């Protein structure tokens, strides 16, 4: 029978594995360790990497990791943008590209993107990128000029399709702040089974405890394939969290009883964390009930529109959202202003915890526009 880990302790483990308290790692090392971090929102993922890196790391430091080629951004899984490394990108695409293309077949038909059109677009962009990196606007203009219409989502889908084909990725930044398209040259590992096992191990190492369902959600690979690969990982340990079978690594030691966020007694100081939108703390798992109530999840994704807001965490639990105010923003309901930032709590916290949230907002070092 697997060992039961109490829910507060499981959250504490996750916080340590997710590096929410920072680390001694560079931005490139943070992403190498995590395999990939959600990158739909570029400013958000730059901040997500920065908060997990060594003290003093800035958003500009993260940008430089892209500029030097240590990091890239692409669609390695489930048609979603992630920040990753060139090596991980090649490995993930070798495992997922065929499934992604099959899943988007109907959409290509709707957009009128047949094989001939995609082939022409591929050749034109590859030739242009051999000269120099291009902005999104330059790529779309190139295709429009050649008679390949890019309106109504066609341009976006072409970019995604060619990225999934391992032709292109988003790399360095232009002086304007735009991220540039570059040619992808890194090849995948020769042994796909060993590569998948390493991806699984790294996923668990950076997010555990996790479930098979979490892993399947994250990769969109079949559970049978994932279970088979996981069985080859010698230091993968099965535990139980809230009566659910989960994985950790054998070296995932018990957090110290006095460590912040490790399942503290009620009379201890709570650990406050601020995470940007689309953060892996939420999107890295299929089941988010360990860290957020249904009400908190509705606040994170208002209207179920797929846009995940930045979250306020108390001991790993989502208690509300935070965001810079619009010019006409007003205080209403549970929303309050803190140093120019709107904080809206959906869970009850005491006065002391509220003060610590306000202090964390004031001290957050990545407020400036990315």
Q: What is the pTM of this model?
A: 0.91
Rounded mean pLDDT, 130-142: 98
**Helical pair 136-145 and 154-164, crossing angle rounded to 10 deg:** 110
Closest CA to 199 of 344, 59, 99, 94: 94
Angle between helices 27-34 and 42-51 (to 10 degrees): 100
> What's the pLDDT score for residue 2?
79
Check whether 206 has a pLDDT greater than 70.
Answer: yes
Q: How far is the C-alpha of 267 from the C-alpha of 275, rounded, in Å?
A: 25
* H-helix or E-strand spanning residue 229: helix 223-230
Which band of pLDDT confidence, cut at 50, 70 and 90, is reported for residue 263?
very low
- Give, for 283, the enclosing helix (H) or strand (E): helix 280-283
How buried is residue 185: exposed, middle or buried, by Cβ count under 10 Å (0-12/13-18/19+)?
exposed
Residue keyed to tokens 């695409």: 93
What are the structure tokens assigned to 332, written together? 């209403």
Cβ neighbours of 294 (radius 10 Å):
9
Mean pLDDT, rounded, for 89-111: 96
Query: pLDDT tens digits, residue range 210-251?
Result: 999 999 999 999 999 999 999 999 999 999 999 999 999 998
The region of weakest confidence among 7-11, 106-110, 205-209, 264-268 is 264-268
Whether 106 shows a pLDDT value over 60: the answer reads yes
pLDDT tens-digit map of 268-281:
789 999 999 999 99
pLDDT for 40: 95
Give the pLDDT confidence score for residue 1 in this predicted structure. Answer: 59
Query: For residue 212, which phi and psi values (nearest 5 degrees)?
Result: -60, -40
Distance CA 326, CA 223 (A): 44
pLDDT tens, residue by residue, 154-191: 999 999 999 999 999 999 999 999 999 999 999 988 89
User: Where is 3: in which H helix or E strand?
Assistant: strand 3-5
Residues β-bridged to residue 3? 239
């Amino acid at each position: 029978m697997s060992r039961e880990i109490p829910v507060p302790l499981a959250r504490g483990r996750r916080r340590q594995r997710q590096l929410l308290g920072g680390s001694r790692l560079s931005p490139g090392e943070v992403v190498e360790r995590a395999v990939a971090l959600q990158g739909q929102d570029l400013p958000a993922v730059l901040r997500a990497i920065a908060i997990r890196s060594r003290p003093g790391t800035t958003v500009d430091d993260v940008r430089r990791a892209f500029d030097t080629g240590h990091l890239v951004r692409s669609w390695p899984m489930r048609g979603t943008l992630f920040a990753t490394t060139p090596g991980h990108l090649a490995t993930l695409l070798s495992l997922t590209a065929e499934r992604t293309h099959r899943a988007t077949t109907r959409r290509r038909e709707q957009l009128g993107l047949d094989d001939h059109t995609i082939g022409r677009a591929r050749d034109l962009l590859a030739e242009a990128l051999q000269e120099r990196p291009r902005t999104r606007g330059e790529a779309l203009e190139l295709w429009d000029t050649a008679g390949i219409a890019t309106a109504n989502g066609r341009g976006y889908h072409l970019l995604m399709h060619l990225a999934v084909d391992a032709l292109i990725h988003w790399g360095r930044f232009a002086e304007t702040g735009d991220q540039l398209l570059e040619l992808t040259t890194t090849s995948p590992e020769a042994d796909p089974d060993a590569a998948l096992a390493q991806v699984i191990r790294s996923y668990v190492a950076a997010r555990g405890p996790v479930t098979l369902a979490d892993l399947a959600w994250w990769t969109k690979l079949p559970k049978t394939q994932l279970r088979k690969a996981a069985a080859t990982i010698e230091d993968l340990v099965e535990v139980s969290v809230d009566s659910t079978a989960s994985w950790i690594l054998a070296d995932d030691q018990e957090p110290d009883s006095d460590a912040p966020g490790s399942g503290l007694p009620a009379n201890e100081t709570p650990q406050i964390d601020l995470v940007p939108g689309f953060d892996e703390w939420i999107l890295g798992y299929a089941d988010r009930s360990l860290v957020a109530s249904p009400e908190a999840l509705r606040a994170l994704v208002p209207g179920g529109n797929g846009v995940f807001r930045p979250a306020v965490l108390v001991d790993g639990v989502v208690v509300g959202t935070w965001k810079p105010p619009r010019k006409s923003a007003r205080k209403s309901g549970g929303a309050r202003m803190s140093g120019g930032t709107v904080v809206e709590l959906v869970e009850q916290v005491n006065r002391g915890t509220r003060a610590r949230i306000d202090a964390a907002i004031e001290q957050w070092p990545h407020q400036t526009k990315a």
